[in-house]
Amino acid sequence: MKRILITGAAGFLGSHLCDRFIAEGYYVIGMDNLITGDLKNIEHLFKDKNFEFYHHDVTKFVHVPGKLDYILHFASPASPIDYLKIPIQTLKVGAMGTHNLLGLARVKKARILIASTSEVYGDPLIHPQTEEYYGNVNTIGPRGVYDEAKRYQEAITMAYHTFHGLETRILRIFNTYGPRMRLNDGRVIPAFIGQALRGEDLTVFGDGSQTRSFCYVDDQVEGIWRLLHSDYHFPVNIGNPDEITIKDFAEEIIKLTGTDQKIIYKPLPKDDPMQRQPNIDKAKEILGWEPKVGRAEGMRLTYEYFKSLSPEELAKEEHKDFTKFIN
């Protein structure tokens, strides 16, 4: 039986990855310090004999007994609000956490895939973004802690590949969404749906002309599965190229939720990328992958999830006014 360590297992993507690898017959070791994750995302797995969970901070020495075939390193705060609230932890998990996991992969002779991000392209000057683009990042801006941690993560991963011959995979994730996103992480989808469900106005930042391209979680997980099992060690973009402005997206949410909320405008956060769209030619060519779930279907499934949360959960004070963290 193949054994895999998944860090960030209690988070949004990590928990879906645990489900996928359990379903594929793997023995899954989930690891998380719960700083932005929640055990409720994986509690259904606790009774599975092929799943175990370590409550551990990966910036500290990581010990896992027994053999390991694969490591998926997904631990990291992932939303602009989270990394504004916990900037030092964000830097540490990308740098020290990644170093620890690369060391573990080396000892175990395991293949490691690291979760990088479209943020390595910063506020991109080319469009759509190809893997060859070096990016346009403000190192000392509010996003610098995340962007530079991820850029360092890619660099040290490539160094372990070249210097130690480690089997490495580098995944550049573009905005991915779906059930189990946290209601108060400030990312645009939980933010807008939460606001619609609470009867609040939708907060569009700037004039809403900035674009994003949203990928449904099942498509992302399939891309990760294929990249892990490929023999390609250079970075690969995984995302859905269907691009939309944030203002048009807010209007779509109002239609989807059937509410008559207004759109209100708030200042654009510093260094908010103006355009983001993945070029996925590499994923198509090397992995035979492309997204299958359109935004209408993906958003319907995501809305179902948020609607199923209890009214007490939805009304929690901490979910409101997340914008106060933004500078």
Contact positions vs ligand NAD (CB under 6 A): 7-8, 10-14, 32-37, 57-59, 74-78, 93, 97, 115, 117, 173, 175-176
Could you say which of ligand UDP, ligand NAD, none residue 97 binds, taking C-beta under 5 to 8 angstroms by partner kind? ligand NAD
CA distance 283 to 93: 27
Min separation Cβ 79 and ligand UDP, Å: 6
Min separation Cβ 324 and ligand NAD, Å: 20
Q: Which amino acid is at 200?
A: E
Site for ligand UDP in 210-239 (CB under 6 A): 210, 212
Give Cα separations from 163 to 107, 156, 167, 169, 226 (angstroms). Answer: 15, 10, 11, 15, 25
Nearer to ligand NAD, 89 or 261 (CB): 89
Site for ligand UDP in 167-186 (CB under 6 A): 175, 186
Stretch that binds ligand UDP, among 131-139, 205-213, 222-230, 281-289 (CB under 6 A): 205-213
Min separation Cβ 208 and ligand UDP, Å: 6
Q: Does 191 bind ligand UDP (CB under 6 A)?
A: yes
CA distance 268 to 246: 12
* 269, 204 contact by CB (below 8 A): no
Among residues 84, 100, 234, the alpha carbon closest in space to that of 145 is found at 84
Could you say which of ligand UDP, ligand NAD, none residue 213 binds, taking C-beta under 5 to 8 angstroms by partner kind? none
Nearer to ligand NAD, 146 or 303 (CB): 146
* 66, 108 contact by CB (below 8 A): no
285-306 burial, b at 16+ Cβ within 10 Å, e below that, comes to: eebebebebebeebbeebbeeb
Tokens, residue 8? 């960030």
Among residues 52, 38, 44, 39, the alpha carbon closest in space to that of 6 is found at 52
Among positions 11, 128, 269, 278, the unique one binding ligand UDP when judged by CB under 6 A:
269
134 is catalytic: no
Min separation Cβ 132 and ligand UDP, Å: 21
Nearer to ligand NAD, 182 or 261 (CB): 182
Q: Does 166 bind ligand UDP (CB under 6 A)?
A: no
Could you say which of ligand UDP, ligand NAD, none residue 289 binds, taking C-beta under 5 to 8 angstroms by partner kind? none
Measured in residues, the chain has a length of 327
Across 86-132, the runs of DSSP E, i.e. the strands, are 111-117
Nearer to ligand UDP, 231 or 317 (CB): 317
Min separation Cβ 302 and ligand UDP, Å: 13
Query: Dihedrals φ, ψ of 52, to 5°?
Result: -140, 160
Among residues 6, 25, 5, the alpha carbon closest in space to that of 16 is found at 6
- Catalytic residue (one of 27, 83, 146, 177): 146
Min separation Cβ 183 and ligand NAD, Å: 12
Site for ligand UDP in 70-129 (CB under 6 A): 79-80
SS (H, E, C) 149-199: HHHHHHHHHHHHHHHHCCCEEEEEECCEECCCCCCCCCCHHHHHHHHHHHC
Could you say which of ligand UDP, ligand NAD, none residue 57 binds, taking C-beta under 5 to 8 angstroms by partner kind? ligand NAD
> Which of the residues are catalytic?
146
Query: Which residues contact ligand UDP (rule: CB under 6 A)?
Result: 79-80, 175, 186-188, 191, 203-205, 210, 212, 246, 269, 272
